[in-house]
Structure 1
Amino acid sequence: MPRNPCTYLPRRLQIVATLTLFLLASIYFLGTSTTVSPAVDPYLAQIPYAKQLQSSAHHVVDNLDKHLPALGVNVNAPQWLNPFRGAAHTPPPQQANSSSGEARWYSDFKWRNPFSSSVTLDEERAVLPPLRERPPVYTYFDAAGRRKDAVSKQAEQDLLHVWRRAWWAKGFKPIVLGRPEALNHPQYRAVQTLELAPELEMEMMRWLAWANMGTGILCNWLALPMAAHDDPLLSFLRRGEYPELTRYAGLDNGLFVGTKAAVEAALKATINSPDVKTVKSIVEAIPADTITTDSSHSGIAFYSTAIISSKYAAIASKFSLDSTVSEGMSMLPPLINSHLHMTWQNTFTSGIAVLKPLAEHTTTLIAPAIDIARNLSQCPETPIPASCPPNRPRCKPCVSSHMLISTPPVFRNTSTLFTIGTIPHPYTLTSLRHDRTTLDVKFIRRETSRDAWILAATKELLGTGLSSFARLVSVKEIVASEYGSARGLWLTAEYPPEISSSESKDLEELDWTFGFSLPRSPMDDGKSETPVPGRERRPPPPKQEFGDSTPPTDAELANEVRLMELARRHMGSAAGNLAAELKVREVVEAWNLADAEAWKFIRAWEARRTLERRGWVEEEDEFSKGVFHRWIDKIT
């Protein structure tokens, strides 16, 4: 009796052989895609117009991809018809004000993802954290009754500019109000019918303008944040939630916080007060329990008349004579600016770290960062040397010592150390480290290491065991978290700020970032113009750390400058139009994915910060100009 040949095989091989034969038979009989004529298949002969229907069906499928774009469907036809196709992600929509130059970004809470392209599906669009909401801080300025000479006018404009810049740097949105905002309040006419003391009338105008705007902070334009970014009072104010109408002990009427309802209630109580015609402030007119007083604070400096008289005799003496009042006014802006700068220096007692992870051939790369560090460590000009802010009587004046500037090879997470980091594009870093003017794919793949910058910069913070991809999250938090952004300034090597000119827009941008005006006129001759304590000369460049390598010679530095210029031209938009150079750039980025991601993130972070500030200034300047134009109308 014949036997099945498969029985000679093991059980498992019998199953495999059977499945293989079945698969081959299916492919042979069913896998053909050729047209079967009715002559071969008798069943097709019974279908009317079978050949025409079959031909039309093939024509529709073959040309479907040509008609889908016209219907708004951008997909391959066979894949679109496949019921088992996978779901496809679509790029997130473009957001308003999400680009500046070549930098593009998308604001989203997924910004901690190592690679932005996993969210944006775009290699060139970085994911940034959503913009932090800036709570409004209001001040009131009215030209009526102000001194009309040009010197006083300019001094008050400078004081308002100093006030706005200081509050903006601490995370607030400073807004200058005037009489038009008070006129918009329904209680304005009721206030005008009262016979108020001049001091109370001015105070009522301030509160009417504040109530017209709503919940927020009412601040005198001589009250400024004079503390570290994470000061308890400033952190509370940034939250934007003020459960009670509150004033602050020692600041008189310099600072109030509250909701719109609480401010309206205080205004109504003042208008209905039987003592409204005799008191000089709202605090005196309303019941004591209407406003809460906070005595535990030290983050605000108020340069009131009483404070100036008691602490700054040189300015107070000018105010004592009508002929020198304008001179005293002009001394206030540089004094306040010097105190803001000094407070910043006292916050970072460990000095300034100019990050230099790869010492060899990168001296020119960090040169702009060192210039900024020298400006920050320089003593500001002040009319009263060795003076301290009103809220910090035990400060450490700048004339006693300079800040230490160092060039560490690694990032150090120290709260008292301010870091200025310069990250190069991988193309720039590869050119400098290997002293090459041109790069090619073969050299990049065989002769260069991957993600050299991020591995070197985070070696001490994260150790040596993590991959470069895992380090990206920490780098992004160092740059963009609220804690990290207040303790560091991050630049891209290809687009450094221009600070050589006192009129530079980049230097002005740094002023708004730090909250004070950086020194414009350093004394390079090493001599002090005034007796010590007085204005000090600019600090010398730091002694850079080169590790095991030797300091570069003049010829090597000149070569670094040349390579940097070539790399910047290559990174520019003109070079990007050349297909060959663009391909090399893409290869370098693909070989250094982590370094390229960090560079794009920092580029977008700085571009968005600049765009946000300039957009706000342009919007707010329209109202500020109106305030001063009304003043000009009164004095001309």
Structure 2
Amino acid sequence: MPVQRSILGKPLPPMPPKRIAVLLSTIAVFAIFTLVFTLPNSIPAGPSLGRFTDHKIPIPKLPKTLSPSILNPFRQAAHAPPVQKNSTSGEASWYSNWNWMSPFSSSVTLDENRSLLPPLIDRPPIYAYYDYTLQKGKSHKEAENAVLVTWRRAWWAQGFKPIILSPAEAMNNPLYAELQVLEVEPLLKTEISRWLAWENMGTGMLCHYLLLPMGSHEDPLLAFLRRGEYPRLTRFDRLGSGLFAGSKADITAAVKEALSNKALNESTDFITAVSPETFEIEPKNGVLAYYDTRTVKEKYSKVADEIEADGPRGLMVLNKLTVSHLHTTWQNTFSKGIAVIKPQPEHMTTAILPARKLAEFLIQCPSSPLPSSCPPNNPKCNPCISSHPLQITYPSVYRNTSDLYTIGTVPHPFTTALMSSSLNSESELTIPWIRRKSKRDPWLTTITAELLGTGVSGAPRVVKFKDVVASQYGTSHSLWTTAERDMPEDLDWYFGFTIPRNATDKGESETPVPGPERKPQVSSGPRNSPESAPTDEEVAMTKEKSLLKSAVEFGKARKPDEEKVRKAIEAWNLADTEAWRFARAFLERNRVERLKWEEEERKYAGGKAGAERGKNEGWGRWFDDR
């Protein structure tokens, strides 16, 4: 039964719930107005009531100085991390930190133009001994220098720090005086001096400059050697004195044992001068190629004959052979070819032109005195055949495939917007157009579509892109440059071998297989004469070149109004901007690291051993038509 309500004993008529709610609301409003307008007037004049309370309720205030981070502008300002040494190059600047996988660098660096990069990985030292003081002809020294450059490039590309030692390091060893009083053969004395120089430096690897790494970057042996920790003094089976690895204590013990050997003069090399228990022998060394005298005579007799006939010229032929084997090994590693990323095919043909040319150079058959030969560590390799070169593809997405090499060109969001608006008949690149018509982060969204799908925001896409660019796996399987700058000049060090620079050669060298395919196929397609009308593709390319040039010039000097447009584009495309800055900074840091190392090494070994000569020749014509 419903409840019967009453007042003063008299029953009230029933009232609907809606009316009760209205009544209660009216009473509440009346009570509030009564308190506001009547209570202050009823308090007598006198001391303030505030003196009867001991506490105050503080009113929160916004900080006077806000954080410069666009991601959290209300965060209190904080000091930016200190500037590290060698952390700038041109307009690129970076900060190395373990938190480098943060989506946006400014959250850590507090600087929009400062990229957050992974800490530099320590490169374990690998030493080669070379006596530059010996009297040799100019041609002989030039040939040996070319071999040393090849040795340095190959090991640098695999993550090591190749250092050339000389008699100066051996003489700096306190044990050198003991060697001088011993009567030993000159060759054995040189071998012991080599070990004294190594012992003077400490833990690391001692390598002959004719031993090169030829295999995948992920090979277990190379991964072990890159860790730089060697529990036992180790030599490698069937490589003789080509490579040793050990700690400082083990090296010192071995040198002292050799110098105290009473039958030292009867030894043929350092290995026989110590007891067999001194070394641990590593049988799995299939990634190492040693071009010693015995190997060259057995496998490459033509080269051995060249060396015997003319030492300097034969050494240059041998160096040419090793470079071709390094290139062939790289091509075998990436058997599925090269992917040149082209996410916006309708207006990015010109921007990826340097990447396409680099890919064309990499698929060429390397010039070799023995085209059908294989490295000594891999006799069953697949020599390059011009009739079946590696394939170059132009996907719009990045594919994580271990045997596919990727070359990516990252455009600045302004470059993307400029080309997109101009090629879509937009009259002017304005802020309203950016906000209303342009897509947000189009470049990064496109290349990561296959990996992450279409329903993912920009932050996880940036994290994935950074992993692709800067992880150990990513650096050995891809190269990422920016669209507004030329291709780096030191790519030989990035790949570990001399890249062919013959722009007219499309990999059509003679094949080692006899038959009608020995001669290169000549294209029979007609070429446009100067009088013929340009095609639609040529017109588009011409317009793209002009737009890309405008984007490059715009990036160098900007007026205040233009600066507003650029800032608006960067704010609208945070993920694309972060990717562009990250790729630019990472590539520049690699270059700065190598140049700093070269500058330090120039002080030693006479300043010339292993130094490049004419290294910039032949690269300028890459970009003549861009």
Residue 463 of structure 1 and its aligned partner are, at CA, apart by 1.4
Residue of structure 2 equivalent to 1:243 = 231
Distance 2:38 2:399 in 1: 65
Kindly indicate whether the alpha-carbon contact (under 8 Å) linking 1:373 and 1:405 is maintained by their aligned counterparts in 2. Answer: yes
Distance 1:370 1:465 in 2: 31
List alignment gaps of at least 5 residues for structure 1: 1-7, 30-39, 44-74, 80-84, 498-505, 541-550, 630-636
Residue of structure 1 equivalent to 2:354 = 368
Seen in structure 2, the aligned counterparts of structure 1 residues 41 and 353 have a Cα distance that, compared at 3 Å, is: same
Match of 1:512 among 465, 469, 493: 493
Residue 145 of structure 1 and its aligned partner are, at CA, apart by 4.9
Distance 1:263 1:525 in 2: 49
Residue 161 of structure 1 and its aligned partner are, at CA, apart by 0.7
Residue of structure 2 equivalent to 1:33 = none
Residue of structure 1 equivalent to 2:335 = 349
Kindly indicate whether the alpha-carbon contact (under 8 Å) linking 1:524 and 1:537 is maintained by their aligned counterparts in 2. Answer: no
Match of 2:560 among 574, 579, 593: 579
Counterpart secondary structure, 2:121: coil
1:554 aligns with 2:538: yes
Match of 1:380 among 339, 358, 366: 366
Distance 2:518 2:498 in 1: 16
Residue of structure 1 equivalent to 2:91 = 102
Match of 2:442 among 437, 452, 460: 452
Distance 2:361 2:110 in 1: 41
Distance 2:339 2:512 in 1: 31
Kindly indicate whether the alpha-carbon contact (under 8 Å) linking 1:352 and 1:373 is maintained by their aligned counterparts in 2. Answer: yes
Kindly indicate whether the alpha-carbon contact (under 8 Å) linking 2:364 and 2:506 is maintained by their aligned counterparts in 1. Answer: no
Distance 1:410 1:596 in 2: 18
Kindly indicate whether the alpha-carbon contact (under 8 Å) linking 2:365 and 2:507 is maintained by their aligned counterparts in 1. Answer: no
TM-score by length of 1: 0.81
1:469 aligns with 2:459: yes
Residue of structure 2 equivalent to 1:303 = 291
User: What do you get for the CA RMSD once the two structures are aligned?
Assistant: 3.1
Q: Which amino acid aligns with 1:250?
A: R
Distance 1:294 1:19 in 2: 93
Distance 2:217 2:233 in 1: 24
Residue 18 of structure 1 and its aligned partner are, at CA, apart by 6.2
Distance 2:37 2:548 in 1: 63
1:290 aligns with 2:278: yes
List alignment gaps of at least 5 residues for structure 2: 1-21, 49-62, 68-73, 524-534, 611-626
Kindly indicate whether the alpha-carbon contact (under 8 Å) linking 1:350 and 1:404 is maintained by their aligned counterparts in 2. Answer: yes
Residue 376 of structure 1 and its aligned partner are, at CA, apart by 0.6
Q: Which amino acid aligns with 1:434?
A: S
Counterpart secondary structure, 1:408: coil
1:152-174 Cα distance to aligned partner (Å, 9 max, x none)? 11100100111111111111111
Counterpart secondary structure, 1:298: coil
Match of 1:594 among 561, 575, 584: 575
Kindly indicate whether the alpha-carbon contact (under 8 Å) linking 1:151 and 1:330 is maintained by their aligned counterparts in 2. Answer: no
Distance 2:358 2:506 in 1: 19
Q: Which amino acid aligns with 2:322?
A: I
Distance 1:294 1:303 in 2: 19
Seen in structure 2, the aligned counterparts of structure 1 residues 78 and 613 have a Cα distance that, compared at 3 Å, is: closer
Residue 25 of structure 1 and its aligned partner are, at CA, apart by 8.4
Kindly indicate whether the alpha-carbon contact (under 8 Å) linking 1:362 and 1:560 is maintained by their aligned counterparts in 2. Answer: yes
Kindly indicate whether the alpha-carbon contact (under 8 Å) linking 1:374 and 1:538 is maintained by their aligned counterparts in 2. Answer: no
Residue 496 of structure 1 and its aligned partner are, at CA, apart by 2.7
Seen in structure 2, the aligned counterparts of structure 1 residues 280 and 15 have a Cα distance that, compared at 3 Å, is: farther
Distance 1:389 1:412 in 2: 30
Residue of structure 2 equivalent to 1:142 = 131
1:394 aligns with 2:380: yes
Residue of structure 1 equivalent to 2:325 = 339
Q: Which amino acid aligns with 1:586?
A: K
Residue 99 of structure 1 and its aligned partner are, at CA, apart by 0.8
Residue 434 of structure 1 and its aligned partner are, at CA, apart by 2.2
Seen in structure 2, the aligned counterparts of structure 1 residues 198 and 567 have a Cα distance that, compared at 3 Å, is: same
1:267 aligns with 2:255: yes
Match of 2:411 among 417, 424, 445: 424
Kindly indicate whether the alpha-carbon contact (under 8 Å) linking 1:276 and 1:285 is maintained by their aligned counterparts in 2. Answer: yes
Seen in structure 2, the aligned counterparts of structure 1 residues 594 and 242 have a Cα distance that, compared at 3 Å, is: same
Distance 2:161 2:209 in 1: 14
Q: Which amino acid aligns with 1:369?
A: A
Kindly indicate whether the alpha-carbon contact (under 8 Å) linking 2:66 and 2:76 is maintained by their aligned counterparts in 1. Answer: no
Match of 2:394 among 398, 407, 411: 407
Residue 200 of structure 1 and its aligned partner are, at CA, apart by 1.6
Identity %: 46
Residue of structure 1 equivalent to 2:121 = 132
Counterpart secondary structure, 2:205: strand
Q: Which amino acid aligns with 2:257?
A: A
Kindly indicate whether the alpha-carbon contact (under 8 Å) linking 2:365 and 2:509 is maintained by their aligned counterparts in 1. Answer: no
Residue 319 of structure 1 and its aligned partner are, at CA, apart by 3.0
Residue of structure 1 equivalent to 2:315 = 329
Seen in structure 2, the aligned counterparts of structure 1 residues 224 and 528 have a Cα distance that, compared at 3 Å, is: closer
Alignment map for 1:43-58 (pairs within 5 Å): none
Distance 2:225 2:26 in 1: 75
Aligned residues: 549
Residue 360 of structure 1 and its aligned partner are, at CA, apart by 1.1
1:347-404 Cα distance to aligned partner (Å, 9 max, x none)? 0011000001121111111111000000111111112211111111111111363110
Seen in structure 2, the aligned counterparts of structure 1 residues 22 and 277 have a Cα distance that, compared at 3 Å, is: farther
Distance 1:135 1:332 in 2: 27
1:209 aligns with 2:190: no
Seen in structure 2, the aligned counterparts of structure 1 residues 23 and 156 have a Cα distance that, compared at 3 Å, is: farther
Kindly indicate whether the alpha-carbon contact (under 8 Å) linking 1:197 and 1:279 is maintained by their aligned counterparts in 2. Answer: no
Task: Report the more deviating stretch, 266-275 or 234-243.
Answer: 266-275
TM-score by length of 2: 0.82
Residue 469 of structure 1 and its aligned partner are, at CA, apart by 2.2
Distance 1:529 1:537 in 2: 7
Match of 1:570 among 546, 554, 558: 554
Distance 1:13 1:204 in 2: 105
Residue 87 of structure 1 and its aligned partner are, at CA, apart by 5.5
Seen in structure 2, the aligned counterparts of structure 1 residues 12 and 343 have a Cα distance that, compared at 3 Å, is: farther
Counterpart secondary structure, 1:194: coil
Distance 1:441 1:42 in 2: 60
Seen in structure 2, the aligned counterparts of structure 1 residues 41 and 610 have a Cα distance that, compared at 3 Å, is: farther
Kindly indicate whether the alpha-carbon contact (under 8 Å) linking 1:117 and 1:123 is maintained by their aligned counterparts in 2. Answer: yes
